[in-house]
Amino acid sequence: MMKQTDIAIKSCRWHLAPDEDAFRRQAVDIVLVTADASIRERGQFHLVLAGGNTPCSIYKELRSVRAEWPAWHLYFGDERCVSEDDPERNSRLAIDAWLSHVPIPPGQIHVIQGELGARQAAASYAALLRGLGDFDLVLLGLGEDGHTASLFPGDDWGMSAESADALPVFDAPKPPPERVTLSAARLSRAGTVLFLISGESKRKALADWRSGGAIPASAICPPGGIDVLVSTELFDSTVAN
């Protein structure tokens, strides 16, 4: 499915982008190819969206493409516990940049109700996901400290099969401290997991990951391995053991 030459390191397939335009085009291509394959196979495409700044340009690009939007079902990997209209919400960013511009049925855009507070919002989202099969594609980012979604160093990442699908977070190292995140086990239940990594600030976290460090991102272990899209410069600047 991937067009780029793979660089195999453990269970990771690394896809290199020489510049920001190539990074965006490759990410959009992966999303659309996966969507087409999923819709052909079972008539639906279940996608988990990443938050943060890195995917924003990708979301803006997606609003101008042609796709079978009525077959798309969207979920979120994590959310901040702030008001519904807060610009810091991951769902608000995705809606403004992309989802308000395409005809995905509103009932198929499954936001995390962070305004309810971490504990109640996590329980509500776990109930929503109960009975849902594997995701077709999960998009994730990488934080400077190695976190992904809102799975932070020192916390319970929810790696066991018994972990809840959604976890409350009360002490995030960045504001706001209260969040909801999908567990590592639930994020790993996917046909494809794609990490989107760009920016100089990610250098140390990427180097730690490539050298086998036990960072939160390394807890995401889908059966088919993971795919990582990263800028060529950033990849080449890190050293793998």
- What are the b/e assignments for 50-87, b being 16+ CB within 10 Å? bbbebbbbbbebbeeeebebebbbbbbbbbbbbeeeee
Q: What is the average pLDDT score of the chain? A: 92
As given in the structure block, the two tokens for residue 142 are 């990488």
pLDDT band with cut points at 50, 70 and 90 for residue 239: low
Are the C-beta atoms of 48 and 181 separated by less than 8 Å?
no
146 φ, ψ (degrees, to nearest 5): 90, 5
Rounded to an integer, what distance in angstroms lies between the CA atom of residue 155 and that of residue 240? 26
| 237 pLDDT tier (thresholds 50, 70, 90) | confident
Q: What is the distance between the alpha carbons of residues 186 and 32, in angstroms, rounded to a whole number? A: 22
Position 240 pLDDT exceeds 80:
no
Residue 8 has pLDDT above 80, yes or no: no
- The predicted-structure confidence for 87-124, as pLDDT tens digits, reads as follows 999 999 999 999 999 999 999 999 999 999 999 999 99
Domain at 7-236, CATH class? alpha beta
Q: Give every CB contact of residue 215 below 8 A, 6+ residues apart in sequence.
A: 145, 146, 147, 153, 205, 208, 209
Look up residue 186 and give its two tokens.
């639930």
At position 180, the amino acid (one-letter code) is V
| Among 167, 138, 157, 153, residue whose Cα is nearest residue 226 | 138
**Domain boundaries, given as residue ranges, for the chain:** 7-236
